[in-house]
Amino acid sequence: MSKLTDKAAYIKGLAEGMKLEEGSDEQKLLMHLIDVVGDMASDLEELEEAHDDLSDFVDSIDEDLEELEDVLGDEDFDDEDYDDDEDAEDEDDEDFEEDEEEGEFGEADGAGNNIYVECVCPSCHALFYAPEDDVDAKAKFVCPRCGKTVEPLMDYEEDIPVAEKAQEE
């Protein structure tokens, strides 16, 4: 029991020990107020327990995140890191455009850009990208997670790996 529930129980004992006329309006009011205080103290105790559990869970996640940062070898993931990477991304885009001209990434649209759409594997529900023209043509793909040959379902999110087109049987 917490201090608050102990105090509520003490007040209830004091009220019961008072020589109030049984059934009087004052006695009813006082007992109802004391019951409310007791209920509030119990609810607050439950909230404190839930808060402690959540705090422990957050601490556990924080420890896991620290371990992950140690494994990745970079403890500081801040906006400055991403700003510095913009130049590198521009260089990657140039490399992509060179590869695209060579036809490595499939068909391109009229502007010379490959169009990929996000898909979901109907078997394992993994997300992956596939060329839009192939998906529209009901082509089958090898899921990058489960390895099954599937006809993907359309979905729309970002940062998903690109699947390879399955060999026709």
pLDDT for the residue 22: 84
Residue 61: pLDDT band (50, 70, 90) is: very high
Query: 122-164, pLDDT tens digit by residue?
Result: 888 888 888 888 877 778 888 888 988 888 776 555 555 667 7
Quote the CA–CA distance of 137 and 119 in Å, as a whole number: 14
Dihedral angle of Cα 157, 162, 163, 168, to the nearest 10 degrees:
110
Q: Is the pLDDT of residue 69 over 80?
A: yes
* Residue ranges covered by each domain of the chain: 3-72, 115-169
CA gap 31, 60 in Å, rounded: 44
d(CA 126, CA 102): 29
Q: Render pLDDT for 82-124 as a digit per residue (tens, 0 to 9).
A: 555 555 555 555 555 544 444 444 445 455 567 888 888 888 8
The model's pTM is 0.36
Gap between the Cα atoms of 138 and 99, Å rounded: 26
Whether 136 contacts 130, CB under 8 Å? no
Average pLDDT, the chain: 76
Handedness of CA 127, 128, 133, 139 (dihedral sign): negative
